[in-house]
Protein backbone atom coordinates (compact mmCIF):
# COMPACT_ATOMS: atom_id res chain seq x y z
CA UNK A 1 0.00 0.00 0.00
CA UNK A 2 1.22 3.52 -0.76
CA UNK A 3 1.62 6.15 1.93
CA UNK A 4 -1.49 7.92 0.60
CA UNK A 5 -3.50 4.72 0.78
CA UNK A 6 -2.33 4.10 4.34
CA UNK A 7 -3.29 7.65 5.28
CA UNK A 8 -6.75 6.99 3.90
CA UNK A 9 -6.97 3.77 5.92
CA UNK A 10 -6.15 5.72 9.06
CA UNK A 11 -8.99 8.12 8.32
CA UNK A 12 -11.32 5.20 7.72
CA UNK A 13 -10.32 3.79 11.10
CA UNK A 14 -11.15 7.13 12.75
CA UNK A 15 -14.50 7.41 10.99
CA UNK A 16 -15.31 3.81 11.96
CA UNK A 17 -14.46 4.66 15.57
CA UNK A 18 -16.90 7.59 15.42
CA UNK A 19 -19.63 5.43 13.90
CA UNK A 20 -19.03 2.45 16.21
CA UNK A 21 -19.48 4.55 19.32
CA UNK A 22 -22.18 6.69 17.75
CA UNK A 23 -23.84 9.79 19.19
CA UNK A 24 -24.71 10.11 22.87
CA UNK A 25 -22.77 6.98 23.86
CA UNK A 26 -19.48 6.79 25.69
CA UNK A 27 -16.27 5.60 24.07
CA UNK A 28 -12.51 5.99 24.35
CA UNK A 29 -12.16 8.34 21.36
CA UNK A 30 -9.05 10.19 22.47
CA UNK A 31 -6.50 7.43 22.82
CA UNK A 32 -8.00 5.44 19.95
CA UNK A 33 -7.73 8.30 17.45
CA UNK A 34 -4.20 9.19 18.58
CA UNK A 35 -2.95 5.72 17.61
CA UNK A 36 -5.05 5.27 14.44
CA UNK A 37 -2.23 6.06 12.01
CA UNK A 38 0.10 3.52 13.64
CA UNK A 39 -2.68 0.91 13.68
CA UNK A 40 -3.31 1.49 9.96
CA UNK A 41 0.39 1.07 9.19
CA UNK A 42 0.56 -2.13 11.23
CA UNK A 43 -2.49 -3.89 9.81
CA UNK A 44 -2.25 -2.65 6.22
CA UNK A 45 1.51 -2.48 5.76
CA UNK A 46 3.73 -4.11 8.32
CA UNK A 47 2.16 -7.12 9.94
CA UNK A 48 2.00 -10.56 8.36
CA UNK A 49 -1.46 -11.77 9.23
CA UNK A 50 -4.36 -13.63 7.71
CA UNK A 51 -7.91 -12.57 8.61
CA UNK A 52 -9.17 -15.94 7.36
CA UNK A 53 -6.80 -17.77 9.68
CA UNK A 54 -6.53 -15.65 12.84
CA UNK A 55 -4.61 -18.36 14.71
CA UNK A 56 -1.97 -18.87 11.99
CA UNK A 57 1.09 -19.76 14.13
CA UNK A 58 3.47 -17.50 12.21
CA UNK A 59 1.28 -14.41 12.29
CA UNK A 60 2.67 -11.22 13.75
CA UNK A 61 0.89 -10.31 16.97
CA UNK A 62 -0.49 -6.93 17.99
CA UNK A 63 -1.33 -6.42 21.65
CA UNK A 64 -3.02 -3.28 22.91
CA UNK A 65 -1.51 -2.88 26.36
CA UNK A 66 -3.56 0.31 26.49
CA UNK A 67 -6.63 -1.87 26.11
CA UNK A 68 -9.06 1.04 26.34
CA UNK A 69 -8.07 1.98 22.78
CA UNK A 70 -9.58 -1.32 21.60
CA UNK A 71 -11.99 0.42 19.25
CA UNK A 72 -9.05 1.43 17.04
CA UNK A 73 -8.13 -2.26 16.79
CA UNK A 74 -11.75 -3.35 16.26
CA UNK A 75 -12.11 -0.85 13.42
CA UNK A 76 -8.98 -2.22 11.72
CA UNK A 77 -9.92 -5.86 12.33
CA UNK A 78 -13.36 -5.23 10.88
CA UNK A 79 -11.87 -3.49 7.84
CA UNK A 80 -9.53 -6.46 7.35
CA UNK A 81 -12.48 -8.86 7.48
CA UNK A 82 -11.79 -10.67 10.75
CA UNK A 83 -15.52 -10.56 11.47
CA UNK A 84 -18.69 -9.42 9.68
CA UNK A 85 -19.13 -5.66 9.53
CA UNK A 86 -22.42 -5.75 11.45
CA UNK A 87 -20.53 -6.83 14.59
CA UNK A 88 -19.07 -3.34 14.70
CA UNK A 89 -22.47 -1.81 15.32
CA UNK A 90 -23.03 -3.96 18.44
CA UNK A 91 -20.05 -2.51 20.29
CA UNK A 92 -20.38 -3.06 24.05
CA UNK A 93 -23.93 -4.44 23.73
CA UNK A 94 -24.90 -7.39 25.95
CA UNK A 95 -23.64 -10.62 24.41
CA UNK A 96 -21.56 -8.83 21.77
CA UNK A 97 -18.27 -9.82 20.20
CA UNK A 98 -16.63 -6.43 20.76
CA UNK A 99 -16.20 -5.82 24.48
CA UNK A 100 -15.25 -2.56 26.14
CA UNK A 101 -11.74 -3.95 26.49
CA UNK A 102 -10.03 -6.63 24.36
CA UNK A 103 -11.20 -10.20 24.90
CA UNK A 104 -9.23 -12.84 23.00
CA UNK A 105 -11.94 -15.47 23.33
CA UNK A 106 -14.66 -13.25 21.95
CA UNK A 107 -12.97 -11.34 19.14
CA UNK A 108 -11.05 -12.99 16.29
CA UNK A 109 -7.72 -11.22 15.86
CA UNK A 110 -7.44 -10.14 19.48
CA UNK A 111 -4.45 -11.87 21.04
CA UNK A 112 -4.86 -11.33 24.80
CA UNK A 113 -7.09 -9.91 27.48
CA UNK A 114 -5.84 -6.47 28.33
CA UNK A 115 -7.24 -3.34 29.87
CA UNK A 116 -5.81 -3.44 33.35
CA UNK A 117 -2.92 -1.17 32.45
CA UNK A 118 0.67 -2.29 32.51
CA UNK A 119 -0.04 -5.95 31.83
CA UNK A 120 -0.13 -6.06 28.05
CA UNK A 121 3.57 -5.33 27.76
CA UNK A 122 4.44 -8.24 30.07
CA UNK A 123 2.12 -10.50 28.09
CA UNK A 124 3.81 -9.33 24.88
CA UNK A 125 7.20 -10.16 26.39
CA UNK A 126 5.99 -13.66 27.23
CA UNK A 127 4.69 -14.17 23.70
CA UNK A 128 7.98 -12.91 22.26
CA UNK A 129 9.94 -15.28 24.52
CA UNK A 130 7.68 -18.20 23.56
CA UNK A 131 8.13 -17.46 19.86
CA UNK A 132 11.89 -17.38 20.31
CA UNK A 133 11.83 -20.78 22.06
CA UNK A 134 9.99 -22.16 19.05
CA UNK A 135 12.26 -20.34 16.58
CA UNK A 136 9.07 -18.85 15.20
CA UNK A 137 9.93 -15.78 13.05
CA UNK A 138 6.76 -13.88 14.00
CA UNK A 139 7.09 -10.44 15.57
CA UNK A 140 5.19 -8.96 18.48
CA UNK A 141 3.89 -5.40 18.40
CA UNK A 142 2.63 -3.80 21.57
CA UNK A 143 0.92 -0.44 21.93
CA UNK A 144 1.56 1.23 25.27
CA UNK A 145 0.09 4.51 26.51
CA UNK A 146 2.14 7.30 28.02
CA UNK A 147 -0.21 7.50 31.00
CA UNK A 148 0.29 3.76 31.35
CA UNK A 149 3.99 4.37 31.89
CA UNK A 150 3.12 5.20 35.49
CA UNK A 151 2.38 1.51 36.09
CA UNK A 152 5.33 -0.17 37.80
CA UNK A 153 4.73 -3.34 35.84
CA UNK A 154 5.75 -1.55 32.63
CA UNK A 155 9.25 -1.25 34.04
CA UNK A 156 9.33 -4.82 35.29
CA UNK A 157 8.47 -5.83 31.74
CA UNK A 158 10.98 -3.38 30.26
CA UNK A 159 13.75 -5.02 32.30
CA UNK A 160 12.60 -8.52 31.36
CA UNK A 161 12.47 -7.68 27.63
CA UNK A 162 15.95 -6.28 27.79
CA UNK A 163 17.36 -9.17 29.87
CA UNK A 164 15.89 -11.76 27.53
CA UNK A 165 17.02 -9.78 24.45
CA UNK A 166 13.55 -9.78 22.93
CA UNK A 167 14.44 -8.22 19.59
CA UNK A 168 11.24 -9.69 18.12
CA UNK A 169 9.29 -7.24 20.27
CA UNK A 170 8.46 -3.68 19.24
CA UNK A 171 6.61 -1.27 21.49
CA UNK A 172 4.89 1.74 20.03
CA UNK A 173 4.35 4.34 22.72
CA UNK A 174 1.28 6.45 22.04
CA UNK A 175 2.74 9.64 23.49
CA UNK A 176 -0.33 11.87 23.39
CA UNK A 177 0.58 13.60 26.65
CA UNK A 178 -2.88 13.44 28.19
CA UNK A 179 -4.16 11.06 30.84
CA UNK A 180 -7.86 10.72 31.68
CA UNK A 181 -7.91 13.65 34.06
CA UNK A 182 -5.60 16.09 32.28
CA UNK A 183 -2.05 16.76 31.03
CA UNK A 184 0.37 14.05 32.17
CA UNK A 185 3.04 16.66 32.85
CA UNK A 186 0.77 18.24 35.45
CA UNK A 187 -1.17 15.23 36.75
CA UNK A 188 1.64 12.69 37.20
CA UNK A 189 4.71 13.41 35.17
CA UNK A 190 6.28 10.37 33.50
CA UNK A 191 9.05 12.31 31.74
CA UNK A 192 11.74 11.96 30.61
CA UNK A 193 10.38 9.26 28.35
CA UNK A 194 13.18 8.38 25.95
CA UNK A 195 15.90 8.43 28.57
CA UNK A 196 13.94 6.00 30.73
CA UNK A 197 13.58 3.42 27.97
CA UNK A 198 17.21 3.85 26.96
CA UNK A 199 18.29 3.33 30.55
CA UNK A 200 16.29 0.09 30.54
CA UNK A 201 18.31 -1.12 27.56
CA UNK A 202 15.90 -0.47 24.71
CA UNK A 203 16.61 0.80 21.22
CA UNK A 204 14.56 3.99 20.92
CA UNK A 205 13.24 5.98 17.98
CA UNK A 206 11.16 9.15 18.19
CA UNK A 207 8.67 10.06 15.48
CA UNK A 208 5.64 12.13 14.65
CA UNK A 209 2.94 9.50 15.16
CA UNK A 210 0.70 11.10 12.56
CA UNK A 211 3.29 11.21 9.77
CA UNK A 212 2.79 8.02 7.76
CA UNK A 213 6.24 8.25 6.18
CA UNK A 214 7.90 8.37 9.58
CA UNK A 215 5.69 5.57 10.92
CA UNK A 216 6.48 3.20 8.05
CA UNK A 217 10.17 4.06 8.08
CA UNK A 218 10.48 3.46 11.84
CA UNK A 219 8.55 0.18 11.67
CA UNK A 220 10.96 -0.99 8.99
CA UNK A 221 14.15 0.22 10.67
CA UNK A 222 13.41 -1.18 14.13
CA UNK A 223 12.91 -4.62 12.62
CA UNK A 224 16.62 -4.71 11.85
CA UNK A 225 17.74 -4.08 15.43
CA UNK A 226 19.16 -7.26 16.97
CA UNK A 227 19.88 -8.24 20.57
CA UNK A 228 17.52 -5.78 22.25
CA UNK A 229 13.87 -4.74 22.17
CA UNK A 230 12.85 -1.54 20.37
CA UNK A 231 10.41 1.22 21.12
CA UNK A 232 8.99 3.83 18.79
CA UNK A 233 8.01 6.87 20.78
CA UNK A 234 5.19 8.24 18.66
CA UNK A 235 4.33 11.85 19.44
CA UNK A 236 0.61 12.05 18.91
CA UNK A 237 -2.41 14.21 19.51
CA UNK A 238 -5.15 12.76 21.64
CA UNK A 239 -8.41 12.74 19.68
CA UNK A 240 -6.50 13.36 16.40
CA UNK A 241 -8.75 13.93 13.39
CA UNK A 242 -11.85 14.97 15.34
CA UNK A 243 -11.28 18.70 15.93
CA UNK A 244 -13.48 19.08 19.00
CA UNK A 245 -11.84 16.04 20.63
CA UNK A 246 -8.23 16.97 19.86
CA UNK A 247 -6.10 17.58 22.94
CA UNK A 248 -9.28 17.40 24.99
CA UNK A 249 -8.96 15.12 28.01
CA UNK A 250 -12.75 15.01 28.27
CA UNK A 251 -12.72 12.77 25.19
CA UNK A 252 -10.45 10.19 26.84
CA UNK A 253 -13.69 8.38 27.49
CA UNK A 254 -16.36 10.77 26.32
CA UNK A 255 -19.52 11.02 24.31
CA UNK A 256 -20.51 13.10 21.29
CA UNK A 257 -23.73 14.99 21.01
CA UNK A 258 -25.81 14.28 17.89
CA UNK A 259 -24.49 17.56 16.47
CA UNK A 260 -20.85 16.65 17.20
CA UNK A 261 -21.41 13.24 15.64
CA UNK A 262 -22.68 14.83 12.43
CA UNK A 263 -19.82 17.34 12.46
CA UNK A 264 -17.28 14.51 12.78
CA UNK A 265 -18.85 12.48 9.98
CA UNK A 266 -18.94 15.64 7.84
CA UNK A 267 -15.22 16.29 8.36
CA UNK A 268 -14.32 12.80 7.11
CA UNK A 269 -16.80 13.10 4.25
CA UNK A 270 -15.06 16.29 3.10
CA UNK A 271 -11.81 14.29 2.99
CA UNK A 272 -13.43 11.69 0.81
CA UNK A 273 -13.85 9.13 3.61
CA UNK A 274 -17.35 7.92 4.33
Nearer to other proteins (CB atom), residue 104 or residue 180: 104
- Minimum distance from residue 44 beta carbon to other proteins (Å): 24
Q: Does 69 bind other proteins (CB under 8 A)?
A: no
Binding mask 160-179 for other proteins (x = CB under 8 A): x--xx---------------
- Minimum distance from residue 187 beta carbon to other proteins (Å): 22
Nearer to other proteins (CB atom), residue 77 or residue 205: 77
H-helix segments, the chain: 3-21, 29-34, 36-41, 70-80, 119-133, 152-163, 184-187, 193-199, 212-222, 258-270
Q: Does 98 bind other proteins (CB under 8 A)?
A: no
Distance CA 129, CA 229 (A): 11
CA 10 to chain centre: 12
Distance CA 178, CA 268 (A): 24
Options 157, 215, 216, 273; binder of other proteins; rule CB under 8 A: 157
Options 3, 51, 92, 153; binder of other proteins; rule CB under 8 A: 153
Residue among 70, 143, 158 at smallest CA distance from 109? 70
Strand boundaries in 47-115, DSSP class E: 61-64
Q: Which chain residues interact with other proteins by CB under 8 A? A: 103-105, 111-116, 118-120, 122-131, 133-134, 136, 152-153, 156-157, 159-160, 163-164
Amino acid sequence: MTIQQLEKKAKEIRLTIVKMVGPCKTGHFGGSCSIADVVAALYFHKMRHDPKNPKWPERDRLIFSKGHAAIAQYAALGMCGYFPEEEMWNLKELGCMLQGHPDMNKTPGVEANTGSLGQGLSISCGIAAGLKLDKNPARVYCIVGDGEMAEGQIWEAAMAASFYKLDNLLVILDHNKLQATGPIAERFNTSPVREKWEAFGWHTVEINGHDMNEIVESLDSTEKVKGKPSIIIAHTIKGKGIPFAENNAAFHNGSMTQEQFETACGIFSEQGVM
